[in-house]
Amino acid sequence: MLPRTYESQNCSVARTLEVLGDRWTILIVRDAFLGIRRFEDFQRNLGLARNVLADRLGRLVEEGVLERRRYQERPERFEYRLTEKGIDLWPVTVALMHWGDRHYPAEGGSPRVILHRDCGGELTRHLTCAKCGAELGPRDVVTESGPGDRAHPPDRTVASAAA
């Protein structure tokens, strides 16, 4: 089994894996891009144990990927929002999605489609709009259930969390 740390390696990928190299962590980041912000919503969507979720959220806050903001005083409740450092993970998250759609496709097609907010064109692997050619970032898009999404009807649109 590989050790959890990569201190002996002078490698940017290894250093990144120190923060993101856990399946739950990258899925939390994915959900944050889909607009999920509250602990209960992360837990409901991911189905992981509360202690594991609390640990991963705490680590992402500690690393500056997410920030914890109070949204209610009594009882005190917090939400988790992507920081600029977290928003910088958008191309990585999109690349993982496109790679998965290509090499491990869902029956029926892509579970999620990312669309240009302005013209409705689909996001390409090059982070441009297939319809108008504009370069797109997370604030320029919305996501929609795709043909392979078994959980939601195909017309459900979700705004980007970076909006």
- The pLDDT tens digits of the residues spanning 76-106 come to 999 999 999 999 999 999 999 999 999 999 9
Looking from the CA of 10 toward its CB, the CA atoms found within 13 Å total: 0
Name which of 102, 116, 110 is nearest 160 in CA terms: 116
User: Taking the domains of the chain in order of start, what are their residue ranges?
Assistant: 12-86, 89-159
Please report the pLDDT score of residue 63 as a whole number.
97
Contacts of 88 (CB under 8 A, 6+ apart): none
Q: What is the mean pLDDT of the chain?
A: 90
Please report the pLDDT score of residue 25 as a whole number.
97
Other C-beta atoms within 10 Å of 85: how many? Answer: 14
pLDDT tens string 2-32? 455 667 778 899 889 889 989 999 999 999 9
pTM of the model: 0.86
- Maximum pairwise Cα distance, the chain: 48
CA dihedral 39, 45, 51, 57 (to 10 degrees): -50
Please, what's the b/e burial string for 13-31 (b: 16 or more CB within 10 A of its CB; e: otherwise)? eeeebebbeeebbbbbbbb
Other C-beta atoms within 10 Å of 127: how many? Answer: 19
pLDDT value at 153 more than 80: no
Angular region, 113: left φ>0, alpha ψ -120 to 50, beta rest: beta
pLDDT value at 44 more than 50: yes
Please report the pLDDT score of residue 51 as a whole number.
97
Per cent of the chain over pLDDT 70 is: 89
Class of domain 12-86: mainly alpha
Residue with tokens 């029926």: 108
Here the tokens at position 7 are 């201190």
CA–CA separation, 3 vs 1, rounded Å?
Answer: 6
